[in-house]
Amino acid sequence: MNVLDARGMRCPMPLLKLKQSLHQLNVAEVLTVMTTDPMSKRDFVAFLQRSPHKLLSITENDSEICFEIQKGE
């Protein structure tokens, strides 16, 4: 399981770490990203709309957001 723990990081670090992590994966692998930065939701969605990667799910609870992202071509 590929997990990026970006909890406690502030914008723009979660997005930068997401890009680095996706670069290391093979196509179709799934990355789980956990963050506490509320700006990550907006940043991740905007980035993924302009990329070949696919947002599988977003779950939120209290102060944490969890993303499931599948690497595209």
Torsion of CA 44, 23, 57, 52, to 10 degrees: 80
pLDDT one-digit tens code per residue, 34-52: 999 999 999 999 999 999 9
Output the domain CATH number for residue 38.
3.30.110.40
Q: Which domain holds residue 30?
A: 2-70
Active-site residues, by number, are 11
**Alpha-carbon distance 17 to 5, whole Å?**
9
Q: Which residue has the tokens 């994966």?
A: 25
Would you state the pLDDT for residue 1? 84
Residue 23: the pLDDT is 96
Task: Read off the pLDDT of each residue in 15-42 and give the average, rounded to a whole number.
Answer: 97
Number of structural domains the chain divides into: 1
pTM: 0.94
